[in-house]
C-alpha cells in the first residue's frame, strides 16, 4: 500500500462522528461527561477509537457532533486532535448542538444530528461521507 494521504477514497472522504451520547447505563461514569468522553485505559477517551480509525484509514477531514455534557469532550478534542491543517486540505471541526434547524429542540437522534449540520458538511464538499459512533470501541480500516 502507498501513502494513505494519496489514496483517492480517503482523500475524498469526510468522517462525521456522533458524540452526544448520555450513556445512561454507565451513569457512574457519565454523570459528569458524555459517554464518548469517558476515559479508557489511561489518558485515552472512548471517542479516540473512532477518530484514530479514521485517521489511520487516511481520512483527514473530520467533524464531531456533541450534545450531552460536552465540556470535557470538547476540551479533550481541542487539546488532542488539533493537529490537522486546512492548508493541507485537512480539517477537524467540533459541532456542538445549537438548535440550528428547529429553534425548540436539540438533536432528536443520529439522523437529525447529521441533518442539522448538513450545511457545514456540504461546505467541505466531500465525495464520500462516513458516519461513526463516538462511543464504540473497536479497530477498523475504513478503506
pLDDT of residue 99: 59
| pLDDT on residue 1 | 44
Tell me the CATH number at 47: 3.90.550.10
Task: Answer whether residue 97 is part of any domain.
Answer: yes
* Residue 47 lies in domain: 4-133
Residue 111 lies in a domain: yes
**Residues 6+ positions from 128 with CB-CB distance below 8 Å:** 9, 12, 13, 14
> CB under 8 Å to 24, separation ≥6 — which residues?
30
Residue 102 within a domain: yes
Dihedral (C-alpha) 17, 85, 123, 101: value to the nearest 10 degrees?
50
Residue 35 lies in a domain: yes
Q: What is the mean pLDDT of each run of 10 residues along the chain (143 residues)?
A: 58 89 73 86 92 94 88 91 86 78 67 84 89 93 88
Q: Is residue 139 part of a domain?
A: no
Q: pLDDT value at position 104?
A: 61
Task: Tell me, yes or no, whether 138 lies in a domain.
Answer: no
Q: What is the model's pLDDT at position 3?
A: 53
143 part of a folded domain: no
Q: So what's the pLDDT on residue 84?
A: 87
In a domain, 115, yes or no: yes
Domain count, the chain: 1
Amino acid at each position: 500500500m502507498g501513502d494513505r494521504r494519496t489514496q483517492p477514497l480517503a482523500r475524498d472522504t469526510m468522517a462525521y462522528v456522533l458524540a452526544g451520547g448520555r450513556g445512561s447505563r454507565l451513569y457512574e461514569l457519565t454523570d459528569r461527561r458524555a459517554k464518548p468522553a469517558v476515559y479508557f485505559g489511561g489518558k485515552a477517551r472512548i471517542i479516540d477509537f473512532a477518530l484514530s480509525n479514521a485517521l489511520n484509514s487516511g481520512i483527514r477531514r473530520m467533524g464531531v457532533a456533541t450534545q450531552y455534557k460536552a465540556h470535557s469532550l470538547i476540551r479533550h478534542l481541542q487539546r488532542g486532535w488539533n493537529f490537522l491543517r486546512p492548508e493541507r486540505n485537512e480539517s477537524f471541526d467540533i459541532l456542538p448542538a445549537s438548535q440550528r434547524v428547529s429553534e425548540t429542540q436539540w438533536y432528536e437522534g443520529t439522523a437529525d444530528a447529521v441533518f442539522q449540520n448538513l450545511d457545514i458538511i456540504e461546505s467541505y464538499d466531500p465525495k464520500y461521507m462516513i458516519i461513526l459512533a463516538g462511543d464504540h470501541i473497536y479497530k477498523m480500516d475504513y478503506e
